[in-house]
Amino acid sequence: MSLKESVLNVSYRFKTLSKQQTDRHTDTQTHTQTHRHRHTDRQTDIHTQTHTQTHTQTDTHTDRQTHRQTHRQTGRQTDRQTDRQTDRQTDRQTDRQTDRQTDRQTDRQTDRQTDRQTDRQTDRQTDRQTDRQTDRQTDRQTDRQTD
């Protein structure tokens, strides 16, 4: 698996977990708000029944429509804000992980290159010394044989 695939996989898993946590939190909040709204709606209905002269059916319908619309808008705003926060967190986490992986990989490559270069240089020096020594010995032997 390549570095990019690995990072994308981690990013996807993190987003999925964050989204699940956010969904659970939103569900809990929605449930609590729904319970409150039901209670408020019941109280409003009782009030409407006892004061029919002051509240007409049109007023009640308008109030409920306004209430529903406000509830929807609040829900949308909360969802957008939660999504933005989750996305920012995920992006930060992914960026950190990517940076760490890239740094590690770059360090490893640099170390390998340095080791190779050092090995080559050492090998060259050793080869030169060996060649010189062999040349000297050959020269000595040749000189001895000529004498």
Q: 32 burial class (0-12, 13-18, 19+ CB within 10 angstroms)? A: exposed
pLDDT at 114 over 90: yes
Kindly state the percentage of the chain with pLDDT values over 90: 24
Q: From residue 98, how far is each of 83, 90, 92 by CA, in Å? A: 22, 12, 10
What mean pLDDT is predicted for residues 95-106? 93
Average pLDDT of the segment spanning 48-71:
74
Has residue 23 got a pLDDT over 80?
Answer: no
31 close to 133: Cβ distance less than 8 angstroms: no
Break the chain into its structural domains and give their ranges. Answer: 62-140
Q: What is the structure's pLDDT at 143? A: 75
For residue 94, the model assigns a pLDDT of 92
Calculate Rg over the CA atoms of the chain.
39
Stretch 85-96: mean pLDDT: 92
